[in-house]
Structure formats: C-alpha cells, structure tokens
Structure 1
Amino acid sequence: MKKLPINHLRRAVFATALASSLVVALGGCMSTPASNGPKDVAPPLAGASGFVYSANEGDDSISRIDLATGRVMTLPVPVTPHNVQISRDGGRLFAVGSMAGQMKMVASTAVPVSHAHAASKEPGGLVIFDATATNAASATLVTVGRGPAHVVVDARGERAYVSNSDDDAVSVVDAARGAVVSSIATAASPHGLRMSPDGREIYVAATKGNAVSVIDVATSKELTRIPVGKAPVQVGFTPDGTRVYISLRDDNAVAVVDTKTRRLVTTIPVGRSPIQVFATPDGNFIYVANQGTEQQPDNTVSVIDVHCNVVVKTLTTDNGAHGVVVSNDGSRVFITNTFAGTVSTIDAATQRVVGSVRVGSSPGGITYRPASR
C-alpha cells in the first residue's frame, strides 16, 4: 500500500475530524446530493399494499392506484379536483375543486394549471363518495365557496373543512347532511390546510396573506394569524403536534412554526416553488415537493431532517412535483407530478425513487388508504 506523505496524512486527519465535527454540530444530519431513481416503472412494488388517489385537474378525474396489483383506475368526477382526502376510517373519499367545466373557460398562461382554480368566480364543489366505488354516480355533491383548494376531515368523519381561496374563508361541511353549516374567515387566499393531531386546531396556509390562520375547531373561529413568508401553500404537522412545516412557494423555502408559542422558529431553503409537505409517522422527516413553474419546472423532493431542520437529501421524480403523502407505516412516500401526469413512489428506507406510474392529466392532490380499510 502506498504511503501518504506526512502533510497529506495531516490533511486527511483534519478533513475527517472536520466532517465528524460537522455531523455532531448538525445532530447527525448531513446533506447528500440529488439522487435519481428509475422512471416509468409501474407498481406493483415488492411489499406494497393499499391505494393511492390522485386529483387530476386536467381531465376532471380521480385516479386510484392499487399498489398490490399495479392497476390504475381513473374515474370522472363532477368537479375539477385540486385536492383529495381519505377519511380516517378509509371508507369515504373527499374531493374539492371548481365545478367541472368552469376551468375550461379560464384562459391564462400566467397561472399554472395546478393553481387555475384560484381564477374561478363561481362556487365550487365538494364531492363525497365511497372510496371503493368504480364511479361517482352515488356521490354527494356539496356546493361550497369560490375557488375551493383543499379539504380536511375530522377523525370521526363528521365534519369536512374546505378552504375557499376566492372567499378568504373555510367552509365547514356536515358530511352526513351534505351541507355547509358555517364559514370561518381567514387570511387572504386560504389554500392548504391540515388538522392538528389532537383534533383541536386547523392550520391554514394563506397564499396572498403570507400567513397561516389558526382555527379553533370547537368554536369554528380564527384564533390568530402567524406571518411566515411569501405565498405559503400547504402545512404539515409533526405527529406530536409540536411543530408545523409550511411550504413557501415564492421564497423557495419551508417555514417552521412552534405550535405552543405560535411563532416562526426558522426557515429552510428547499427547491423551486415548493407546494406540499408531509411528515413521516415517526416524526423524523418532512418530505417537500418542489414543483417549479410550467415554463421552468422543478422535479425534486427535498427531505428535511426534523431534528436539525436541514435538507439532508434531494430526490428526483418527474416534472412538476406537487402533492405528497406518506403511507401509514412510513415505508413509502408518494408524489404527484403535475406536468408529467405521473405519481412517483419513494422507498423511505433507501431514500430512492423506485417507480413512476401514469395517472390522469395534471395530478395535484394525493391521499393514501391502507389495504385493511
């Protein structure tokens, strides 16, 4: 073996010590280069089970991917769906968007197709139907506010909350009655929203308000507004509910908020135009989909280590990475790619993209249902 000169040895020892000190300083977190995974490899994937649903704005449809068989079923719905959400028990699917046909009249090349719903001036709809259904014939259609963007459902599946971007409000829907029972004022242009793990609060990202509205579920009232940065799009709670991560589309960053103090903790640089964020069940990582624009699409997913609040991995999917959801067991992460018309799967253990499958046109929102439900 060739011996190194003493000065080279000293440099090597110093470099090793420096790397070790950085690992300690970052709490064991070190970023790694972007990694590419195989493309156009459809499920089934080894060990995969359950179903993934994507909201396809380009053709007024929802796609259901059977992860065990690889079968993709796409069914038309009476709205142009921007977001889709499964109920806690896995029995019902909730989809929101402008009424089908409205967006066909919106002619604007300046607005990405995944956010065209914000240009609507007519009331939109919430569709509620059986998650196992092969069509939406028996679905309940509820008229909500203008420019509906996202929907969340309480643990019992009794109330659904829909953000209406053009009304600066959240509609509260009685799921059993299929009717709006109240409306909650928020900061300007509410978009993504999620309920805290304890079910007591809802955090709503307001893209034009540059803030997050905090809603008290018991009283259906806005408690406060937290300034976070430019154009917040979606929020994601850690499983213990102590932190919320918010994508800042126009800052190319993710904001971190302490839910106890309701103050901004830090801001983390990510890819271009981040859209959705989602935490792993163990609370260790946040996955961030970076969409970019139609003119300059991004195709990456930033992986944030929660303990260090730094990006430790950047993964490459397909053009227009938009929606994010993690399987209940934490083994897989699913990404909708709006401009590519695909859903990519990430193996969480290896941090690799292991496949992509084609769904409907311009998929945005995404949700996961376990096979046992």
Structure 2
Amino acid sequence: MLKQLLFLFWLAFSAITLAEPRATGDLGLIIERESGSALIVNTTEHKQLARIENLGDTSHASVVFSRDQRYAYLFARDGGLSKIDLLQDRLVKRIVQAGNSIGGAISQDGRIVAVSNYTPGGVKLFSADTLEPIADIPAEYGASQRSKVIGLADAPGQRFIFSLFDAGEIWLADVSDHQKPSLEKFKNIGKQPYDGLITPEGRYYVAGLFGEPGMSVLDLWHTEAGAKHILPNYIKEDEKLPVFKMPHLEGWAMAGDYVFLPAIGKHEVLVIDSRTWQLVKAIPVLGQPVFVRARPDARQVWLNFAFPDNHQLQIIDVKDLAVSNTLEPGKGVLHLEFSPRGEQVWVALRDDNQVVVYDSYHLKELARIPAKKPNGIFFSARAHQIGL
C-alpha cells in the first residue's frame, strides 16, 4: 500500500515538474463575441493555449490585467465581471454586478477593479482578489436621475475618472480610502460624452461628445481650471454623415506630441497637438474610423472602419500625416492590438472566424489563428500601461 501511494505521489510530482513553464508577459486574450468565451493565446508562438467559457454576453467586452499579469478581468455587456487565471487556464470567479455594463479599469495599486454601468447608472468597486464588493458610486444627477457611465479609466494617485453620458459631466473618484471614495465633479462639459481616454502619462482625460461638435479635455494637474471644450467648430450638424458604429476613443493613438482621434460623422482622422489642443490636420480616410491605434514606436497609426468598409485597414505615416497603405485582411475587422514593442499587429476578423497576425514593418502576414467570431484582442502587457 505504501509503495502504491509513493508511486502515485511520484507520478503527480513528475507531472508538475514536467509541465511546460508559461511566462505571463507573453499571453493575451481573444474575445469570442457570440459564444461567451475567450481564447488564451501565446503571442510569440501564435497559438491558442486554452478556451475559457461561460463568460456571459461578450458581444461588447473589455479586459484589464493584474499587475503580475497572471489574472485577466473581463467586463461583459450583461454586467458580468469575470476573473480568469491565465496560468491555470480557468475561470476563477464570475459575478453579475449590474444589468448592463460597458467596461472597467483596475486601480494603480492593482487592488481594486472598477466597473462602469449603464443599468443602473454608476460605478462599482470590487476587490481584485475576491471580487467582493467594496463601494458603489451611483451616477445620480438632477432630480434623482441616474446617468449611463462611459469612458472609465484609471488615473494616477489611486483615482478613477469617467463620464456621465446623460448628465454631461466628468467625475474624478479618489479611492485611496477604499471604503469611502471621494468625488470631484465637473459639470457642463458638453452634450452626451460617448467615450473617454486618458493620455499615457495620465495627465489629460479626453471625452468625445456625440451631442455636439468637439471634445472636452480635463487637465488632471490643474483640475481647478475645469474641463476645456476643444474643436467646437470642427463640423456643422448638416455636414455629418450617418454614424453606423460609434468610434472608440479607447483605441486612441498618441505619437509624439500628436493625438490621432476618429472623427464622428466624417471620414477623417483628426490630428491634434497635445500641447495646445488645436487641430493640426484632418486626414481623409476611406470610411468611418472606429479604432485608431499607434504602433509603439509612434511611426505608424493603424485604423479600422465601420460597415460597409469593415473589410479594410489603413495605415497613416506619422512623418507625412497621410495614408501610406491600405490592407484587406478579411471580413468584419473589429479590433487590432500591437505586440508590446510593435513588431506585430493582431487583427480580429469577426466574419472570417479568425485572427490574422501581420509583421507591422513589412506588412507581411505571419499567421492566422482560428477563433469564433472574434472581436476584442487584449495582451497582458496592458497591465503596465495607464488607461489600458
């Protein structure tokens, strides 16, 4: 009996020691939008490691990572919040914390996960360790009304920043005291802020406006000055084209002193000087841009488009501020993600059920990875980037 037990122990120990080591910095998640699942992938070897299922409504989902890059936190459209172990290929825990959710963020110290909600409108805070609730920030305004919350991002100083779509406000929440967040509210920032972004160093928060021309910028070094309305005269109402898919400011691009943003209602990418927040140039593109992403070396900006041009990608040369290349990777281009140093870009092709990987310097196709209706692609290197 003792020999049998020792033999079983030896087998178990051998299985553990012979298991292939896995580096957390080389991992990523590909969201499968219609099956409520996600693929864990190795970004160097271009291969699927596992499929995680039972993640809820992933038709619109986003992901942030723990600071050690081991865990991914997935925010699903149905209000679900999931914690995924990227080393053990398993769903650690899933809760449904609201009725309709649009995204989330993780705090500077990695201890708090924040979720922004449409229904009920507000932000909820959870322990990154256990997913137990910590605090609730209802987005109340006016006569006890609740606003949809969008554009949630982490900010330096243990803070979260977000916009209230219905109220036209930006709120800054200091969560240094986890149980009692303190709020700073900036009102009348513009009509219907639809998305928001924070610059890489965490200084500026930009809210795009759907209800009126322009954008709103808040300088987090000088919050006493309030939010500044920029580009108010960029486009007139009668010039707007139909909007088939809302642009995503989270897919913004910053290259040097330039910020590249998708225009609403025009087939253009706006180039803004981040020192003055003045328009430098509007670059004509072939369709309505959705995600605009800069390669990490800041030489190129890649963008995809809404229907009917969503089978194409365009590349802007930052030196010339002009489109340099157009690619047709496949049907239903939904999202793109650069490798941490930018030598590769991964592109989700929803209608071709695959992800294509390009050499971003030579525009050569490197691999195609099968996936069920893929949309979002998120690499664990985001763990060390503000606002992602």
Normalised by the length of structure 1, the TM-score is 0.64
Q: Name the structure 1 match of 2:202.
A: 199
Listed as ranges, the matches of 1:115-126 within 5 Å are: 122-123=120-121
Distance 2:358 2:347 in 1: 8
The structural deviation recorded for 1:354 is 3.0
Deviations 1:303-333 (A, max 9, x none): 1001111111112233332333322211112
Q: Which residue is 1:368 aligned to?
A: 379
Could you tell me which of 222, 229, 236 is aligned with 1:224?
229
Equivalent AA in structure 1 for residue 278 of structure 2: R
Q: Deviations over 1:19-48 (max 9, x none)?
A: xxxxxxxxxxxxxxxxxxxxxxxxxxxxxx
Q: Any gaps of 5 or more consecutive residues in structure 1?
A: 1-48, 105-117
Q: Residue 62 of structure 2 aligns to which amino acid in structure 1?
A: N
The amino acid that maps onto 2:196 is L
SS in structure 2 at match of 1:250: coil
SS in 1 for 2:265: helix
Question: C-alpha separation between the residues in 1 aligned to 2:192 and 2:34?
Answer: 22
The match for 2:287 among 272, 279, 283 is 272
2:79 aligned to which of 99, 122, 129: 99
- For 1:121 and 1:87, how far apart are their aligned partners in 2? 26
C-alpha separation in 1, matches of 2:324 and 2:215: 26
RMSD of aligned residue pairs (Cα, Å): 4.1
CA distance 1:358–1:320, change in 2 (3 Å): same
The aligned residue for residue 154 of structure 1 is 155
Q: Aligned pairs, how many? A: 302
Q: Which residue of 2 aligns with 1:313?
A: 325
Alpha-carbon separation, structure 1, partners of 2:383 and 2:221? 31
Identify if the C-alpha distance between structure 1 residues 180 and 261 changes in structure 2 by more than 3 Å, giving closer, same or farther: same
The residue that corresponds to 1:84 in the other structure is 63
Query: For residue 213 of structure 2, what is the amino acid of its counterpart?
Result: N
Larger RCO: 1 or 2 (CA < 8 Å, sep 6+): 1
The whole-number CA distance in structure 2 between the counterparts of 1:129 and 1:92 is 13
Q: d(CA) in 2 for partners of 1:63 and 1:150?
A: 25
Aligned twin of 1:263: 278
Cα offset for 1:263?
Answer: 1.2
Structure 2: distance between partners of 1:95 and 1:180: 23
Bigger Cα displacement from structure 2, 69-78 vs 89-98:
89-98
- Matched to 2:231, the amino acid is I
Contact 1:213 1:225 in 2 (8 A): yes
Q: Tell me, which stretches of 5 or more residues in structure 2 are unaligned?
A: 1-24, 81-97, 102-115, 140-146, 241-245
- Counterpart-to-counterpart distance in 2, 1:207 and 1:62: 31
3-state SS, counterpart of residue 282 of structure 1: coil
User: Secondary structure of the equivalent of 1:193?
Assistant: strand
SS at match of 1:71: strand
Supply the AA of the counterpart residue of 1:258. Answer: D
Shift in Å, 1:166:
4.2
CA distance in 2, matches of 1:361, 1:142: 35
Aligned counterparts, 1:216-365, within 5 A = 216-218=219-221, 220=223, 221-227=226-232, 228-229=234-235, 233-234=248-249, 236-240=252-256, 242-292=257-307, 296=308, 298-338=310-350, 342-359=354-371, 363-364=375-376
Query: With structure 2 as the length reference, what TM-score do the two structures score?
Result: 0.62
Determine the C-alpha separation between the residues in 1 that align with 2:57 and 2:220.
27
Counterparts of residues 126-145 of structure 1 (less than 5 Å) = 138=131
Kindly indicate whether residue 26 of structure 2 is the aligned counterpart of residue 50 of structure 1. yes
TM-superposed deviation, 1:63: 4.5
CA contact (8 A) 2:150 2:196 kept: no
**Where do 1:4-15 residues align within 5 Å?**
none
Instruction: After superposing the two structures, state which structure 1 stretch, 326-335 or 185-194, moved more.
Output: 185-194
C-alpha change, 1:155 and 1:355, in structure 2 (3 Å) is farther
User: Which moves more between the two structures, 90-99 or 350-359?
Assistant: 90-99
1:348, distance to aligned residue in structure 2 (A):
0.9
Contact 2:302 2:314 in 1 (8 A): yes
Change beyond 3 A, Cα 1:197–1:342: same
